[in-house]
Amino acid sequence: MSSNDITSVLKEDRSFPPPSAFQQRALIGSMEEYDRLWTYAAEQPERFWAEQATTCLNWFKRWDRVLDWQLPHAKWFTGGKLNVSYNCLDRHLLTWRRNKAAIIWEGEPGDRRVLTYNDLHHEVCRAANMLKKQGIGSGDRVTIYMPLVPELAISMLACARIGAVHNVVFGGFSSEAIADRNRDSQARLIITADGGWRRGAIVPLKANVDAAMAKSPSVERVIVLKRTGWEVPMQAGRDLWWHDEMATVSANCQAEELDSEHPLFLLYTSGSTGKPKGILHTTAGYLLHATLTSQVVLDLKDDDTYWCTADVGWITGHSYVVYGPLANGATTVMYEGAPNFPDWGRLWEIIERNKVSVFYTAPTAIRACAREGSKWPKQRDLTSLRLLGSVGEPINPEAWMWYRDTIGGGRCPIIDTWWQTETGGMMITPLPGAMATVPGSATRPFFGVVPDIIDASGNSVPRGKGGFLVIRQPWPGMLRTIWGDDERYKTQYWSQAPGVYFTGDGARQDAAGNYWILGRIDDVINVAGHRLSTMEVESALVSHPSVAEAAVVGAPHELKGEGLHAFVLLEGSHRPSDSLMRDLMDHVVRQIGALARPESVRFAQALPKTRSGKIMRRLLRDIAAGRASVGDTTSLEDFSVLATLRANEDV
Ligand code: WTA
């Protein structure tokens, strides 16, 4: 791909200054203050971050050195000792917050629970002892495959308390995906549930784990939370009930004193090549980034009720449902189910009833709600809201304006936050009390984040021109490596241009200095805000006995942002049919999960390739975008003529 491909057609001149009432209460209340601090952090990052680490976190032992940077490996706060669970819980018990609501939870069927910081601390200590009883200790990997229930956060914090490394697997992933992650991380234990509720049905989480177990030799124990009451088989000697085990252990458990760079969690995400990679985040730097951005960007105050709708199976749920809010002693809302169950009013009802003041969601949810019309939000009193956020994919100005007017009543700033699993926390985002927001722009870099936009030869491009988004300096929340594959870490992120972190996104900076994210420039596709690699879906297709070769591309989708479109070449005796098409779609769902179901599968006689044998994805993308409907899928498409015509083009 050449950087000429990155063009931006968007023209946007609306701009909304921060409301003055908001500005007065915000930590950073003016552009001058933002500029001063950003420059300070860019010029003296070690001083800036040492100050923040002192005020944001509690330490058992202070660090010796702020940053040890041996490109491309960073170590932050070396010599320091702390514990993430202590920072999220114990330190609040010493204050009036001990009986403040930490988690306000709502199940899809309508059941509700509120856990105070004191309650949560008890549960986490017991869960930590439960893990210890099974022989889990510092550095052991624990897979967590659960519905969005408080026990998910409790499990993560319990791991953090004893130094075990959690790997949360999104509940929408299939048994194959669980097994892959178990094998790669060499997990010793899985925490799951008998099921979870989604659109009125039970997601068979335990059954998926059972199916994964045959291919997960490292896993010794499965702890099962009773969530739905659905009967599940329990294998003696291997499977244990959460409630039985929790009843046998005490609620006293000291938080381990862990090194700053102790591994905190793995989270698998798609890259442009091969299998999903285990992104490694460590203790101090990650927590500092999540904590500070929650204060400055989400503007969390003690009287806020905050709700981030992300599933905890994604990085947004890690940083901004669990760790960032809890480290700040905030009240975080968790909702188990679908936004449209029992109807499209569910989100707004939850906001009204809990008087949610800060709301953080994804463009795909905003677009889906906008399509259902304003009548749902209009039935509810949303005046408790004061700040709205968006994350996961570019938000189109139309959806942005609907969000602002219909949900925010025209009074709430919108923070469009750009970041990645790899970055740990927000990187480019408005500070809502300091800067004017512009529909579709993520605006400015956060403190300590030094972005640049470069061309294919690594030179910075002038303002207004599109290019590759890179980050020029290490920051505390950055990933440390790819689990078990440091070479891949180096090539994937640090080899495209010397000395800089390569994000995989295209971007442009406008004349005013605001950043516009233009989307992925590699083979990663953002489907409803979920990252998938075309390669992953292609290899799932090729693992089907009828498929000889497959190419998968993304094309614009009204609600999901992008959808997946597959082109397949069949093995000798197989013939195209509608039933085979459906079978292939189901096969992808079995291999990866429902989020990867292709919008269309087309049968081809040949795939268009360049002379060097690379699939001409651009051509396929045009075809996929031009014909969104599946149409006559049984005919074979012959790309050979087109392929010859375009044989000299780039991929
Ligand atoms: C995209 C999610 C535009 C981007 C936190 C990035 C965005 C990928 C935005 C990371 C945004 C995320 N505007 N694009 N505000 N936020 N992206 O790892 O392509 O699931 O590289 O992390 O999502 O997705 P991930």
Least confident of 44-48, 160-164, 185-189, 626-630: 626-630
Which atom number of ligand 1 is nearest to the Cα of residue 442?
15
The answer to whether the peptide bond before residue 72 is cis (omega within 30 degrees of 0) is: yes
What pairs with residue 335 in β-bridges?
106
Find out whether the beta carbon of 420 lies less than 6 Å from any atom of ligand 1.
yes
What whole-number distance in Å separates Cα of residue 576 and Cα of residue 567? Answer: 12
Mean pLDDT, to the nearest integer, of 172-182?
Answer: 96
Q: Is the pLDDT of residue 607 over 90?
A: no
Find out whether the beta carbon of 531 lies less than 6 Å from any atom of ligand 1.
yes
Euclidean distance between the first and the last CA atom of the chain, given in angstroms as a whole number: 6
Architecture of the structural domain at 113-254:
3-Layer(aba) Sandwich (3.40)
pLDDT in tens, 255-278: 999 999 999 999 999 877 668 999
Decide: 547 and 566 in contact? Cβ < 8 Å.
no
What whole-number distance in Å separates Cα of residue 285 and Cα of residue 491? Answer: 23
Which atom number of ligand 1 is nearest to the Cα of residue 416?
15
pLDDT in tens, 111-148: 999 999 999 999 999 999 999 999 999 999 999 999 99
Burial (Cβ within 10 Å: 0-12, 13-18, ≥19) of residue 511: exposed
Decide: 367 and 558 in contact? Cβ < 8 Å.
yes
The answer to whether the peptide bond before residue 342 is cis (omega within 30 degrees of 0) is: yes
Q: Which of 322, 328, 332, 329 is nearest to 295 (CA)?
A: 328
What whole-number distance in Å separates Cα of residue 482 and Cα of residue 212? Answer: 23
pLDDT in tens, 345-356: 999 999 999 999
Find out whether the beta carbon of 520 lies less than 6 Å from any atom of ligand 1.
yes
What whole-number distance in Å separates Cα of residue 77 and Cα of residue 286? Answer: 11
pLDDT computed for residue 401 by the predictor: 96
Find out whether the beta carbon of 269 lies less than 6 Å from any atom of ligand 1.
yes
Return the residue whose CA atom lies nearest to atom 8 of ligand 1: 420
Return the residue whose CA atom lies nearest to atom 14 of ligand 1: 393
Strands 561-570 and 547-557: antiparallel
Q: Is the pLDDT of residue 534 over 90?
A: no
**Separation of 297 CA from ligand 1 center, angstroms?**
16
Please state, for a pLDDT cut of 70, what percent of the chain lies above it: 93
Decide: 416 and 437 in contact? Cβ < 8 Å.
yes
Q: Which of 117, 128, 122, 59 is nearest to 92 (CA)?
A: 117
Q: Is the pLDDT of residue 508 over 90?
A: yes
Q: Is the pLDDT of residue 650 over 50?
A: no
- Model confidence at 229, in pLDDT bands (50, 70, 90)? very high
Q: Is the pLDDT of residue 24 over 60?
A: yes
**Separation of 421 CA from ligand 1 center, angstroms?**
8
pLDDT computed for residue 536 by the predictor: 87
DSSP 43-95: HSHHHHHHHHHHHH---SB--SEEEEEETTEEEEEET-EE-HHIIIIIHHHTS
At position 104, the amino acid (one-letter code) is I
Please, what sign has the CA dihedral across residues 379, 381, 383, 388? negative
Q: Which CATH class is domain 544-646?
A: alpha beta
What whole-number distance in Å separates Cα of residue 182 and Cα of residue 142? Answer: 9
Q: What is the mean pLDDT of the chain?
A: 93
3-class SS string, 285-329 = HHHHHHHHHHHHCCCCCCCCEEEECCCCCCHHHHHHHHHHHHHCC
Please state at what angle helix 284-296 crosses helix 45-56, rounded to 10 degrees.
80
- Model confidence at 3, in pLDDT bands (50, 70, 90)? very low
Q: According to CATH, where is 3.30.300.30 located in the chain? A: 544-646
Question: Can you give the pTM of this predicted structure?
Answer: 0.92
Return the residue whose CA atom lies nearest to atom 13 of ligand 1: 394
Tokens encoding 48: 């800036």
Question: How far is CA 389 from each of CA 37, 64, 314, 413, 536, rounded to the nearest angstrom?
Answer: 22, 37, 16, 8, 30
Mean pLDDT, to the nearest integer, of 451-469?
Answer: 95
Find out whether the beta carbon of 316 lies less than 6 Å from any atom of ligand 1.
yes
3-state DSSP assignment of residue 588? helix
Give how far the C-alpha of residue 488 lies from the chain's centroid of Cα atoms, to the nearest Å.
20
Decide: 365 and 377 in contact? Cβ < 8 Å.
no
**Separation of 146 CA from ligand 1 center, angstroms?**
24
CB atoms within 10 A of CB 554: 26
pLDDT computed for residue 638 by the predictor: 54
**Separation of 419 CA from ligand 1 center, angstroms?**
5
Q: According to CATH, where is 3.40.50.980 located in the chain? A: 113-254
- Model confidence at 8, in pLDDT bands (50, 70, 90)? low
Find out whether the beta carbon of 505 lies less than 6 Å from any atom of ligand 1.
yes
Q: Is the pLDDT of residue 490 over 60?
A: yes
Decide: 566 and 584 in contact? Cβ < 8 Å.
yes
Mean pLDDT, to the nearest integer, of 558-566?
Answer: 93
Return the residue whose CA atom lies nearest to atom 11 of ligand 1: 418
Decide: 269 and 280 in contact? Cβ < 8 Å.
no
Find out whether the beta carbon of 394 lies less than 6 Å from any atom of ligand 1.
yes
DSSP 525-570: EEETTEEEEHHHHHHHHHTSTTEEEEEEEEEEETTTEEEEEEEEEE
Q: What is the phi/psi pair of residue 468, to 5°?
A: -90, 135
**Separation of 621 CA from ligand 1 center, angstroms?**
21
pLDDT computed for residue 628 by the predictor: 38
Find out whether the beta carbon of 418 lies less than 6 Å from any atom of ligand 1.
yes
pLDDT computed for residue 535 by the predictor: 85
Q: Is the pLDDT of residue 620 over 80?
A: yes
Least confident of 427-436, 585-594, 598-607: 598-607
Instruction: Choose between 626 and 46: higher pLDDT.
Output: 46
Q: According to CATH, where is 3.40.50.12780 located in the chain? A: 6-83+266-516
Contacts from 46-54 at CB under 8 Å and sequence distance 24+? 48/447, 48/448, 49/76, 49/288, 49/448, 49/476, 52/288, 52/292, 53/77, 53/80, 53/284, 53/288
Decide: 541 and 552 in contact? Cβ < 8 Å.
yes
Alpha helices in 403-512 (DSSP H): 486-494
Residues whose CB is less than 8 angstroms from the CB of residue 225 and which lie 6 or more positions away in sequence, other chains included: 146, 149, 151, 191, 192, 193, 194, 242, 243
Which atom number of ligand 1 is nearest to the Cα of residue 314?
20
Best of 393, 438, 533 for a ligand 1 pocket test (most atoms within 8 Å of beta carbon): 393
Superfamily of 6-83+266-516 according to CATH: ANL, N-terminal domain (3.40.50.12780)
- Model confidence at 647, in pLDDT bands (50, 70, 90)? very low
Q: Is the pLDDT of residue 87 over 60?
A: yes
- Model confidence at 283, in pLDDT bands (50, 70, 90)? very high
**Separation of 418 CA from ligand 1 center, angstroms?**
6
- Model confidence at 649, in pLDDT bands (50, 70, 90)? very low
Please state, for a pLDDT cut of 90, what percent of the chain lies above it: 85
What whole-number distance in Å separates Cα of residue 4 and Cα of residue 9? Answer: 13
Return the residue whose CA atom lies nearest to atom 6 of ligand 1: 420
Least confident of 3-17, 31-45, 382-396: 3-17
Q: Is the pLDDT of residue 446 over 70?
A: yes
Tokens encoding 218: 């490292």
Tokens encoding 447: 């403190």
Please report, to the nearest 10 degrees, the dihedral formed by the alpha carbons of residues 635, 640, 641, 646 taken in order. Answer: 130
- Model confidence at 392, in pLDDT bands (50, 70, 90)? very high
Q: Is the pLDDT of residue 522 over 90?
A: no
pLDDT in tens, 312-356: 999 999 999 999 999 999 999 999 999 999 999 999 999 999 999
3-state DSSP assignment of residue 349? helix
Decide: 233 and 250 in contact? Cβ < 8 Å.
no
Find out whether the beta carbon of 315 lies less than 6 Å from any atom of ligand 1.
yes
Cα Rg of the chain, angstroms: 24
Return the residue whose CA atom lies nearest to atom 12 of ligand 1: 392
Contacts from 402-407 at CB under 8 Å and sequence distance 24+? 402/366, 402/370, 402/374, 403/366, 403/370, 404/16, 404/439, 406/370, 406/374, 406/377, 406/378, 407/348, 407/359, 407/366, 407/377, 407/382
> Could you tell me how many residues make up the chain?
651
At position 546, the amino acid (one-letter code) is S
Find out whether the beta carbon of 443 lies less than 6 Å from any atom of ligand 1.
no
Instruction: Choose between 631 and 416: higher pLDDT.
Output: 416
Which atom number of ligand 1 is nearest to the Cα of residue 395?
13
- Model confidence at 150, in pLDDT bands (50, 70, 90)? very high
